[in-house]
Structures are given as structure tokens and as C-alpha cells.
């Protein structure tokens, strides 16, 4: 499997890569919230522009962003269709014997699609430019004030990082099983869509079994290498808020203000 | 007389993965009694499925004896606190590197053990660099472990344990996927660790590697079958054949010669002595 | 030549920052029915090369011609081709996926369209080829020892009676007897069915003993091909690529340092060496 998968860290160097994961997390989180406050063409355009600027600053090829979009294209198409068919208010845009499309339906469909795309851009920006380890360290540090109320911040972050670490493992495992079956004559390529999908079913069961085994192996490995919870643990990676991080948060404030000023 | 304490002590150890389902004669390890002193270099040989990896896992408390006790230093693997300390003393390189690699980049993986030990960051960085240098993975720091070749993964697994600088290192067939030069490097590494006073336990199928150690243990049919200083074993290493293990090449040559009626009876302790003996045989006649 | 790699390059994760060129300008040819050994340092591209041959990876550029199939970067529908090629992967225990040993071995024949009786026949036959006892048929393949899992994986591939049999380090991790057994199985299978065998190994003894042709790889390139004697004569070439001569050769070389008329270093079988020694001993007297 040669494509970069969804949410994979792309280890290059850029302004965005160098930012502290905490400020990136906060920024992206707040941007995701802002998306739901946008309510007209101007505000959506503003957010899209910010997203595109982010893409440019990350120095990651636009192709990779497009590739990660491929994953949600079905979701977008589906909800678009859903709105086109079932939203029935406003004036009629198109009338055919089987289907009537209303203006409100088109509007809703457009809004949902733009929101999905924005969500994906900002989420990819975070995942592409932050290594999973930085990400979980950042989260742990952001969540640590909650420890006062007995929130297990370290364990939560560890769980996150294991989940993230598991994505490539599962990917590799799937690859291995598919290769093993292909090598022994299983056919994933010919026939109609139905047959092709059906060919993948024998992959799923071994994949599940082997993921459980892998999870167990991982727990054993962590134990064997001296992991015993967060107490007394040090970190290779240090987090530090620098001028750029402050700049980022200031940017957010400006965008937010502009957005609230422009929205209806 | 002062009582000399062993570093590792297994007394009356029985173990099975499903002790309730299996008859005792079929348990994975049966009645193991063994002591290993600090600084020893021990090789463990044995056929597939005989219980070597199980033995290794008992040493660092990943498995706990069903009966009997495993002690390392002042601690027993049978209690939680003991295991906590033992894991810091005993580093283990697993048979299959995929089972050992924890992080998403090579550098972070080597760091993982150090972080668990609570090593300060300033000390961590040079230790990681050194470990990667020793195994020849410099330049791979940011690579994803899943994207390494079989042998590269095995090297990474070794680096992760080396960096922690444990008192005892167990290598479970850690050279199986390496090329001859890589094997040679790992053998050198073991020798070096031994000379520095660390305790090295090496599980291997290779006779050549076995006789580099000071002491050879054979586990077969789930029991301890043989425990010899290696220089005493060499001359009678034909013994190993009964368990399907590799006999050093010179000894095999001697046995084949004997089958053909040529008896060379001087005891030998290494390959060179056999070469000398053959040479004498060829020039005598 | 029935199998030819024509200027093949392979790059992992092309078009991403993870891009890694694993093979470069590969030009090699084999004849149908050859026993080919692929040797080379860790990470030199051996596994990548055999996965291309198995039709599991497509070349980034160049053409792989096998009989009348041309495989290139945009090849599709290789299903039929793959049915004629069997692969045993590095760490083949990962290759098992069915619930029982018999089902796992029967997976290939089933995909080939064999009927129930034929599948049954091939499964039993393959199990006896690799020396698996019939009472293991209904065991889960995950509850076996390392050596047994290896045999199941190999049986699963042999049961397909492939025209090209590929093995990626099949003996790594087997005990000595297991290694010898497997090598003799391979030899017999090769002679019996006349298939092409491509055998990746780090063990020079295996390469010397079995191969008719050796492919020596270094850094993603093929740096030499030829008969074992040609390859092992060129020591510098081997050492540059992290390899060595076979143990027998090394031992003969140390013997030769003392002999006025050296023994041929083209001997790879122990029994041949012993015959030579005895011959010399008698001639002397
Ligand atoms: N996770 C497990 N669950 C149940 N049985 C197991 C498990 N792991 C190993 N065994 C069994 O325990 C016995 C000893 O296995 P172990 O892995 O210690 O052998 P080994 O000497 O390391 O063999 P190898 O040379 O193949 O690595 C074998 O009979 C094996 O089938
Ligand atoms: N999935 C992958 N993604 C990126 N690079 C890879 C991937 N798999 C292998 N490589 C790289 O390609 C090169 C060749 O790998 P390959 O597995 O073919 O080596 P090999 O000769 O089989 O080595 P070994 O003897 O260690 O198994 C290595 O440098 C490896 O790091
Ligand atoms: Mg083992
Ligand atoms: Mg390989």
C-alpha cells in the first residue's frame, strides 16, 4: 500500500511543523467550533482562505490533502443526495417526474459539503504536521489541569497514542494478510463490485484476530520495556511555547473577530 | 565462609500457559533449577518448541512460574514490586521484533525504555545516538518501524534494549534475520557487553555462536538437559545431536572421518585445534 | 530466458515524503526450473525483489517478463499469474490466517478451483512433504510452536504446486534438524516437480549447497550473478555486501594455510570434504 493514509504524520520541516502541539490543538479545536458559526458566503470564504493558508504554510503537497479528501467524498455525496431528496422547502429549482429539488435542499447540501471539507482541511493540517507522540504529549499537558479532579490525563494520552500507533500496525497487518491471500490465489481484482467486496470478507476475520494478538503483544512489549504508568516517567520531547505559537493564537483571535463581524 | 549470592536463581520452576488443561508431563517448562552469576555469558540452545522463549520470559517476570520461584538479585518475579525492579534490571530482545517495537519512529522507540526509567532528557539524547550507532541505524531516526526491512527491525529491537543499559540482557534469537556481517557485529556486541561486566544470555540455534559463550545450557523436551562450561562441551559436542541441535563443523568432520575408519582421538577445544589435528593426520601418513 | 527482470526500479510510497527507493535498475534472468538463491545484506532489497516476482508489488518502472506475462507499473489482473507462483514470506507465521491447519493449507488449492477430493489429497500430501503429523490437521495454526507454524506456511504453498516457488528466509529460526529437513524437502520438491525455486537466504551454507544460480544484491542493485563457485570465489565482493563464504569454505581455507597442495574451495558438502581428506590420507601412506 503506497498511499499516505488518513491522518498520517508527514515528517518534513515547516513553520506549522515547528509549532507547539498544544497551540496547534487549541487552534484547530477552536477553528472546528468556528465552522459552526459561519452562516454566509463571506464567512465560509474566510474560513476556506484560512485553511488554504494553512495548507500553504505546511509545505505539504496539495495532492496529499486531496487524497485525504477522497476518504470523505462518499460522505459528502451521500449527505448532499440526502438533502437534495428530502429537504422540501423553499422554491422549486428543478422538477422531474421522479424527483423535485428545492432551493433549501441545494443550500443545505452546499453548506454541509463545505463544512465537511473545512473539517477535513483543519483536521488534516493538525495530523499531517504533528507527530502522534507530540500530539499525545500536547494533549496530556493540556488535560493535566484536570488531574485535580482525578482525571487520568497520562493514561488518557497513553491510550490515544496507542490508538494512533495502532493505525500503521493495522495497516501493515491488513497488507500482510491481503498479500498472503493474494499469493495463494485469492482474487481481489476481477469480477463485479459485489464479487470484489466479497473477496475482502475472508480478510476481516483474520485481521480481527491478529489485531487482538497484536494488542496483546504491544502490552507485553511495553511491560517488558519497563513501562509502569506515568509516575517518574521522563520525556524525550519537550514542549515549549514560543513566539510563533502566540502569533498563531493571535491569528485565531483576528479570524474569530472577523467572522463574527461578517456573519449575519 | 561468605555466602556468594547468585544474580539469577530458578528453583523448582514449573510453568505452563494452560496449567489447568495440560497434564504435568506436557507443561512448557518442567522442574528447572538453575543459577546464573553476575557477569556470566550463557548460551541457551534447544529444539523448536522446547521452552526457550518461555524460559526467557520467566526471567523478566513477563511470565510467572506456576510452581517454584524465579529470583533476580534481591527480588522475586512472583510479586508486583519485585517485577517492577526486575524489569529494570533485565532487558530482553524478543524473538520477533514486531512484538517489541512500541513507538512510531525509530528514535522514539529507542527513547521509550529510557523514558520509562525516568532518565533526564539531556542524558537520553546521547544514549539514543550511541545505541543507534552501535546497531548501525544512524540516519534512520525518523523512519517508521513498519517501513523497515526484517533485519533493520531486529537491529532496532536491540538498540531499544541497549540504550537502557540493563544489568542482564537476554537475546532471544536476535541474529536470526541478520546477514553474516550483522551477526558478527551482534556477536562482538555481546562479547563487549560481557567484558563490561554485564550478564548476557543468548538463545540461539547456531553452534558457532554457542561456543563463544562461557557456558552452554540445553533445554529440550521442556527440561534442562545439559549445562556445561563451553570449553568442556566442545570436544563432546556430538551430544547435541540427540536433540537435533547443531554440532560444530570440525566435530562433524571428525565424526564422519570416524565412520570411515579414521579415528582422531585427541580432545579438541576449538576449530583451530581440529585443523591442526587434521594437518598432522595428513602429514603423518 | 523464461524469467527476466528488465531494468526494474521499485520505490516505496512514491510521491510522498516517505518515498524510498528499494530497487534500482535490476537486470536479471533465470531459466525455468533453476534453483536460484538470492543473497545480500539487510535492507538490500531481497524481499522487495521477490514480492515483485510474486506479482504482489508492481515495478515503478521497467518490465518483468515471466513466460508470456509482462508485468509493469500499470499491470492489472494478475490473479491468474499469481496462481502459478507460491511465496513463503519472511516471518511466515504471519502468513497463516485460517481456523485450522487443514483449512489453511487447503486455501490455495481451493482458490485454484480444485474439488473437495483433490483439496483433501493435496493437503495430506503437502503435510507429509513437510513432515507435519496428520493429527495436527484440526489444530488452530496459532497454537503451534514456531517451527510447526513455519511448516504449515510452507505446506500451504507447496499444496498449490506452483511453477515458481519463492521462499524468503525459510530456515531462519528453525532448529538445526528443522533446517536440514526443510532443505531436503525443498531439494526433493524442486527435483520432483521441476519448478523454479527462488530462495532468499542469509545463510551462505544453504546458498552454496542448493543453488544452481546465485543473485548477489547490495543497496538495491544486483551486483553479481553466477554459479556458487563464481560468487564465493570473489571474497571482496561478498564482504562489501556484508556477506561471507560458507562455513565449509572458511574451514577449508584455514586448513589450506597449512597444506602445500590446497584442498579445492569449491567443495560445499561435508561428505565430499571428508572423502577428499580420506583420499589424501590414503594417498599419502
Ligand atoms: N502463547 C502461548 N500459548 C500456549 N502455548 C504456548 C504459547 N507460546 C508457546 N507455547 C507452547 O509452549 C511450548 C514452548 O514454547 P517456546 O516458545 O518457549 O519454545 P521455544 O523453545 O522458544 O521454541 P522456538 O525455537 O520455536 O522459538 C511450545 O510447546 C509451545 O507450543
Ligand atoms: N513498506 C516499506 N516502506 C518503505 N520502505 C520500505 C518498506 N519496506 C522496505 N522498505 C525499505 O526498502 C529497503 C529494502 O527492503 P527489503 O525488505 O527488500 O530488504 P531485504 O533485503 O529483504 O532485507 P532483510 O534481509 O533485512 O529482510 C530497505 O531499506 C527498507 O528499509
Ligand atoms: Mg522461541
Ligand atoms: Mg527481507
**Once rounded to an integer, what is the mean pLDDT over residues B198-212?**
92
- CB-CB under 8 Å, C254 with B253: no
Report the domain count for chain A: 2
User: Do A50 and A175 fall within a single domain?
Assistant: no
Q: Is A216 an interface residue toward C (CB < 8 Å)?
A: no
Q: How confident is the model at residue A138 (pLDDT cuts 50, 70, 90)?
A: confident
User: Do A110 and A194 fall within a single domain?
Assistant: no
C contacts of A213 (beta carbons < 8 Å): 142
Residue nearest to atom 7 of ligand 1 (CA): B17
HSE of C36, CA atoms in CB hemisphere, 13 A: 28
A contacts of C107 (beta carbons < 8 Å): 181, 184, 186
**Once rounded to an integer, what is the mean pLDDT over residues B211-225?**
93
CA distance C86 to chain A (A): 6
Return the minimum-mean-pLDDT range out of A257-261, B197-201, B210-214, C213-217: A257-261
User: Do A115 and A244 fall within a single domain?
Assistant: yes
User: Do A95 and A23 fall within a single domain?
Assistant: yes
Is the Cα dihedral C176, C239, C164, C266 positive or negative? Answer: negative
Tell me how far apart the alpha carbons of residues A174 and A205 are, in angstroms, rounded to a whole number.
Answer: 11
Tell me how far apart the alpha carbons of residues B114 and A210 are, in angstroms, rounded to a whole number.
Answer: 29
Chains that touch A (3 or more CB pairs under 8 A): B, C
How high is the pLDDT of residue B4?
63
Residues having CB closer than 6 A to ligand 2 are B 147-152, 177; C 12-13, 20, 22, 40, 42-48, 90
User: Do A242 and A224 fall within a single domain?
Assistant: no
How high is the pLDDT of residue B2?
45
Return the minimum-mean-pLDDT range out of C41-50, C92-101, C271-280: C92-101
User: Do A105 and A191 fall within a single domain?
Assistant: no
Instruction: Please choose from B19, B43, B48, B53 the residue to mutate so as to test ligand 1's pocket, defined by most ligand atoms within 8 A of CB.
Output: B53
How high is the pLDDT of residue B201?
96
User: Do A88 and A211 fall within a single domain?
Assistant: no
DSSP C94: G
B contacts of A233 (beta carbons < 8 Å): 115-116, 118
Q: How confident is the model at residue C59 (pLDDT cuts 50, 70, 90)?
A: very high
How high is the pLDDT of residue A178?
86
Reduce the DSSP state of residue A3 to 3 states and report it.
coil
Torsion from C-alpha of B77, B79, B85, B87, nearest 10 degrees: 50
pLDDT at C126 over 60: yes
pLDDT at A235 over 70: yes
pLDDT at C222 over 50: yes
8 A C-beta contact, residue A233 and residue A7: no
Q: Is A11 an interface residue toward B (CB < 8 Å)?
A: yes
Q: How confident is the model at residue C1 (pLDDT cuts 50, 70, 90)?
A: low
Tell me how far apart the alpha carbons of residues C164 and C33 are, in angstroms, rounded to a whole number.
Answer: 8
How high is the pLDDT of residue C117?
92
For ligand 4, an ion, list residues with CB under 5 A. B 149-150; C 47, 90
For ligand 3, an ion, list residues with CB under 5 A. B 52-53, 95
**Once rounded to an integer, what is the mean pLDDT over residues B146-152?**
85
Looking at the CA of residue C173, tell me the nearest atom of ligand 1: 25
Mean pLDDT of chain A: 82
HSE of B134, CA atoms in CB hemisphere, 13 A: 24
Q: For chain B, give every residue range classified as CATH 3.40.50.300.
A: 6-247
pLDDT at B141 over 50: yes
Q: Domain range for residue A106?
A: 1-130+234-264
Instruction: Please choose from C145, C146, C148 the residue to mutate so as to test ligand 1's pocket, defined by most ligand atoms within 8 A of CB.
Output: C145
Mind listing the pLDDT tens digit for each residue in A166-195?
Answer: 777 787 788 888 888 888 888 777 777 777
* Share above pLDDT 90 across residues of chain C, in percent, rounded to a whole number: 41
Look at residue A145 and tell me if it is in a domain.
Answer: no
Mean pLDDT of chain C: 88
Q: Per DSSP, what are the bridge partners of residue C152?
A: none
Calculate the alpha carbon distances from B157 to B145, B180, C47 in Å: 10, 18, 20
How high is the pLDDT of residue B282?
82
Look at residue A124 and tell me if it is in a domain.
Answer: yes
pLDDT at C82 over 50: yes
Is the Cα dihedral B46, B48, B51, B56 positive or negative? Answer: positive
The response to whether residue B153 sits with its C-beta less than 6 Å from ligand 1 reads no
Mind giving me the DSSP string for A173-234?
HHHHHHHHHHHTT--SSSS-HHHHHHHTHHHHHHHHHHHHHHHHHHHHHHHHTT---STT--
Calculate the alpha carbon distances from B284 to B277, B279, C69, C275, C283 in Å: 10, 8, 62, 18, 12
Return the minimum-mean-pLDDT range out of A181-190, B5-14, B148-157: A181-190
Neighbours of B17 (CB within 10 A): 12
User: Do A249 and A228 fall within a single domain?
Assistant: no
How high is the pLDDT of residue B285?
57
Mind listing the pLDDT tens digit for each residue in C149-176?
Answer: 888 999 999 999 999 999 999 988 888 9
Look at residue A112 and tell me if it is in a domain.
Answer: yes
Look at residue A246 and tell me if it is in a domain.
Answer: yes
Looking at the CA of residue B222, tell me the nearest atom of ligand 1: 14
Pick the residue of C71, C75, C88, C97 with the most A CBs within 10 A to test the interface with A by mutation: C97
**Once rounded to an integer, what is the mean pLDDT over residues B53-70?**
93
Q: Is B64 exposed, middle or buried (0-12, 13-18, 19+ CB in 10 A)?
A: middle
pLDDT at B88 over 80: yes
How high is the pLDDT of residue B279?
85
Mind listing the pLDDT tens digit for each residue in A93-121?
Answer: 777 777 778 888 888 888 888 888 888 88
- CB-CB under 8 Å, C107 with A183: no
Strand C221-226 to strand C213-218: parallel, antiparallel, or no bridges (unpaired)? antiparallel
- CB-CB under 8 Å, B256 with C274: yes
For A10, name the nearest residue in chain B, comparing CA atoms only.
B142
State ipTM. 0.85
User: Do A74 and A163 fall within a single domain?
Assistant: no
User: Do A191 and A258 fall within a single domain?
Assistant: no
- CB-CB under 8 Å, B116 with A226: yes
The response to whether residue B30 sits with its C-beta less than 6 Å from ligand 1 reads no
CA distance C16 to chain B (A): 13
Name the nearest CA neighbour of A142 among A128, A131, A156: A156
Higher-confidence residue of A166 and C202: namely C202
How high is the pLDDT of residue B144?
84
How high is the pLDDT of residue B1?
44
**Once rounded to an integer, what is the mean pLDDT over residues B194-222?**
93
Instruction: Please choose from B13, B21, B28 the residue to mutate so as to test ligand 1's pocket, defined by most ligand atoms within 8 A of CB.
Output: B28
Look at residue A45 and tell me if it is in a domain.
Answer: yes
Percent of chain B as helix, strand, coil, to the nearest 5: 45, 20, 35
How high is the pLDDT of residue B10?
94
How high is the pLDDT of residue A84?
82
Mind giving me the DSSP string for C11-49?
EETTTSTT-EEEEEEEEEEE-TT-EEEEEE-TTSSHHHH
Tell me how far apart the alpha carbons of residues A133 and B111 are, in angstroms, rounded to a whole number.
Answer: 12
Name the nearest CA neighbour of C154 among C135, C176, C169, C139: C169
Q: How confident is the model at residue B41 (pLDDT cuts 50, 70, 90)?
A: very high
Q: How confident is the model at residue A163 (pLDDT cuts 50, 70, 90)?
A: confident
Q: Tell me if the domain spanning B6-247 has CATH number 3.40.50.300.
A: yes
8 A C-beta contact, residue B209 and residue B187: yes
Look at residue A113 and tell me if it is in a domain.
Answer: yes
- Length of chain C as a residue count: 285
Instruction: Please choose from B138, B149, B176, B180 the residue to mutate so as to test ligand 2's pocket, defined by most ligand atoms within 8 A of CB.
Output: B149
**Once rounded to an integer, what is the mean pLDDT over residues B8-37?**
91
How high is the pLDDT of residue A260?
85
Which ranges of C234-269 would DSSP assign to H, the alpha helix?
A: 235-240, 247-256
Strand B8-15 to strand B29-36: parallel, antiparallel, or no bridges (unpaired)? antiparallel
**Distance in angstroms between the alpha carbons of the first and the last residue of chain C:** 50
Q: Is A168 an interface residue toward B (CB < 8 Å)?
A: yes
How high is the pLDDT of residue A6?
54
Q: Separation of B44 CA from ligand 3 center, angstroms? A: 11
8 A C-beta contact, residue A130 and residue A161: no
Please list, in sequence order, all residues whose beta carbon lies within 8 angstroms of the beta carbon of residue B278, skipping any fewer than 6 positions away: B253, B264, C255, C277
Look at residue A137 and tell me if it is in a domain.
Answer: no
Calculate the alpha carbon distances from C231 to B237, C207, C210 in Å: 32, 10, 14
Tell me how far apart the alpha carbons of residues C93 and C191 are, in angstroms, rounded to a whole number.
Answer: 26
Pick the residue of C17, C21, C242, C243 with the most B CBs within 10 A to test the interface with B by mutation: C242
pLDDT at C18 over 70: yes
User: Do A245 and A224 fall within a single domain?
Assistant: no
User: Do A124 and A20 fall within a single domain?
Assistant: yes
Name the nearest CA neighbour of C24 among C51, C4, C45: C45
How high is the pLDDT of residue A2?
40
pLDDT at A3 over 60: no
Tell me how far apart the alpha carbons of residues C165 and C216 are, in angstroms, rounded to a whole number.
Answer: 19
Mean pLDDT of chain B: 89
DSSP C166: E
Looking at the CA of residue B179, tell me the nearest atom of ligand 2: 25
Looking at the CA of residue C51, tell me the nearest atom of ligand 2: 18
- Using CB atoms and an 8 Å cut-off, which of residues 41-60 of chain A contact chain B? none
Look at residue A40 and tell me if it is in a domain.
Answer: yes
The response to whether residue B45 sits with its C-beta less than 6 Å from ligand 1 reads no
Amino acid at each position: 500500500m503506497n498511499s499516505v493514509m488518513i491522518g498520517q504524520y508527514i515528517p518534513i520541516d515547516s513553520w506549522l511543523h515547528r509549532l507547539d502541539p498544544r497551540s496547534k490543538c487549541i487552534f484547530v479545536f477552536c477553528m472546528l467550533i468556528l465552522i459552526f458559526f459561519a452562516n454566509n458566503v463571506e464567512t465560509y470564504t474566510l474560513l476556506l482562505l484560512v485553511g488554504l493558508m494553512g495548507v500553504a504554510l505546511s509545505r505539504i503537497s496539495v495532492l496529499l490533502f486531496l487524497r485525504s479528501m477522497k476518504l470523505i467524498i462518499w460522505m459528502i455525496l451521500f449527505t448532499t443526495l440526502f438533502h437534495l431528496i428530502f429537504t422540501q422547502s423553499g422554491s422549486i429549482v428543478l422538477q422531474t417526474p421522479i424527483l423535485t429539488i428545492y432551493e433549501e435542499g441545494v443550500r443545505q447540501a452546499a453548506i454541509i459539503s463545505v463544512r465537511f471539507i473545512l473539517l477535513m482541511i483543519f483536521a488534516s493540517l493538525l495530523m499531517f504536521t504533528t507527530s502522534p507522540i507530540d500530539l499525545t504529549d500536547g494533549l496530556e499537558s493540556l488535560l493535566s489541569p484536570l488531574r485535580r479532579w482525578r482525571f487520568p490525563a497520562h493514561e488518557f494520552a497513553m491510550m490515544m497514542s496507542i490508538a494512533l500507533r495502532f493505525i500503521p500496525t493495522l495497516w501493515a497487518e491488513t497488507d500482510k494478510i491481503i498479500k498472503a491471500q493474494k499469493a495463494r490465489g485469492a482474487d481481489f481484482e476481477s469480477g463485479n463490485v459485489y464479487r470484489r467486496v466479497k473477496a475482502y470478507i475472508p480478510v476481516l476475520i483474520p485481521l480481527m484476530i491478529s489485531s487482538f494478538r497484536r494488542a496483546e503483544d504491544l502490552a507485553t512489549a511495553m511491560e517488558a520495556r519497563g513501562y509502569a504508568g506515568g509516575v517518574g516517567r521522563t520525556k524525550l520531547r519537550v514542549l515549549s511555547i514560543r513566539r510563533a505559537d502566540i502569533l498563531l493564537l493571535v491569528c485565531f483571535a483576528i479570524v474569530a473577530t472577523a467572522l463574527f463581524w461578517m456573519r449575519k | 565462609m561468605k555466602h556468594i549470592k547468585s544474580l539469577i536463581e530458578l528453583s523448582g520452576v514449573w510453568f505452563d500457559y494452560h496449567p489447568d488443561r495440560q497434564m504435568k508431563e506436557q507443561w512448557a517448562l518442567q522442574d528447572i533449577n538453575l543459577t546464573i552469576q553476575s557477569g556470566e555469558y550463557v548460551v541457551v540452545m534447544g529444539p523448536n518448541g522446547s521452552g526457550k522463549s518461555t524460559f526467557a520470559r520467566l526471567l523478566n517476570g513477563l511470565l510467572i512460574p506456576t510452581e517454584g520461584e524465579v529470583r533476580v538479585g534481591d527480588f522475586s518475579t512472583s510479586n508486583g514490586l519485585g517485577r517492577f525492579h526486575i524489569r529494570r534490571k533485565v532487558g530482553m530482545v524478543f524473538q520477533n521484533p514486531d512484538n517489541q517495537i512500541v513507538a512510531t519512529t525509530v528514535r522514539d522507540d529507542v527513547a521509550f525504555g529510557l523514558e520509562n526509567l525516568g532518565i533526564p532528557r539531556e542524558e537520553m539524547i546521547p544514549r539514543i545516538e550511541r545505541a543507534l550507532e552501535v546497531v548501525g541505524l544512524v540516519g534512520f531516526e525518523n523512519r517508521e518501524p513498519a517501513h523497515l526491512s526484517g533485519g533493520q527491525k531486529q537491529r532496532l529491537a536491540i538498540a531499544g534494549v541497549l540504550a537502557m543499559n540493563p544489568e542482564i540482557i537476554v537475546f532471544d534469537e536476535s541474529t536470526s534475520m541478520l546477514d553474516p556481517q550483522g551477526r558478527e557485529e551482534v556477536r562482538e556486541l555481546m562479547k563487549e557487553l560481557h567484558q563490561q561486566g554485564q550478564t548476557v544470555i543468548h538463545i540461539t540455534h547456531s553452534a558457532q555462536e554457542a561456543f563463544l559463550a562461557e557456558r552452554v545450557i540445553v533445554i529440550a523436551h521442556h527440561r534442562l538437559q545439559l549445562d556445561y562450561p563451553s570449553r568442556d562441551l566442545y570436544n563432546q559436542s556430538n551430544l547435541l545431536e540427540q536433540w537435533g541441535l547443531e554440532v560444530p563443523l570440525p566435530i562433524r568432520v571428525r565424526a564422519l572421518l570416524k565412520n570411515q575408519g579414521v579415528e582422531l582421538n585427541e580432545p579438541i577445544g576449538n576449530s583451530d585445534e581440529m585443523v591442526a589435528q587434521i594437518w598432522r593426520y595428513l602429514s603423518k601418513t | 530466458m523464461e524469467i527476466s527482470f528488465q531494468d526494474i526500479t521499485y520505490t516505496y510510497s512514491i510521491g510522498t515524503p516517505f518515498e524510498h527507493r528499494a530497487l534500482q535498475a535490476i537486470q536479471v534472468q533465470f531459466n525455468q526450473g533453476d534453483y536460484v538463491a538470492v543473497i545480500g545484506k539487510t535492507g538490500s532489497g531481497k524481499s522487495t525483489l521477490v514480492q515483485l516476482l510474486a506479482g504482489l508489488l508492481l515495478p515503478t518502472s521497467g518490465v518483468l517478463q515471466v513466460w508470456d506475462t509482462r508485468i509493469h507499473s500499470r499491470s492489472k489482473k494478475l490473479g491468474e499469474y499469481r496462481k502459478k507462483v507460491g511465496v513463503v514470506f519472511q516471518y511466515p507465521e504471519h502468513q497463516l490466517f485460517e481456523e485450522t491447519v487443514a483449512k489453511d493449507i487447503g486455501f490455495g488449492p481451493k482458490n485454484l478451483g480444485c474439488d473437495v477430493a483433490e483439496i483433501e489429497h493435496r493437503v495430506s500430501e503437502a503435510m507429509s512433504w513437510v513432515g507435519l503429523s496428520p493429527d495436527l490437521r484440526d489444530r488452530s495454526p496459532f497454537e503451534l510452536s514456531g517451527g510447526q507454524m513455519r511448516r504449515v506456511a510452507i505446506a500451504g504453498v507447496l499444496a498449490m504446486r506452483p511453477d515458481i516457488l519463492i521462499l524468503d528466509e525459510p530456515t531462519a529460526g528453525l532448529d538445526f534438524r528443522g533446517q536440514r529437513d526443510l532443505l531436503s524437502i525443498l531439494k526433493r520438491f524442486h527435483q520432483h516437480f521441476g519448478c523454479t525455486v527462488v530462495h532468499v537466504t542469509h545463510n551462505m551454507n544453504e546458498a552454496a549447497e542448493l543453488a544452481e544460480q546465485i543473485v548477489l544484491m547490495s543497496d538495491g542493485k544486483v551486483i553479481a550473478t553466477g554459479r556458487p563457485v563464481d560468487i564465493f570465489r570473489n571474497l571482496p565482493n561478498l564482504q562489501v555486501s556484508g556477506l561471507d563464504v560458507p562455513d565449509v569454505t572458511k574451514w577449508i581455507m584455514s586448513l589450506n594455510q597449512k597444506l602445500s597442495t590446497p584442498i579445492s574451495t569449491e567443495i560445499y558438502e561435508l561428505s565430499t570434504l571428508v572423502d577428499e581428506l580420506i583420499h589424501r590420507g590414503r594417498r599419502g601412506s
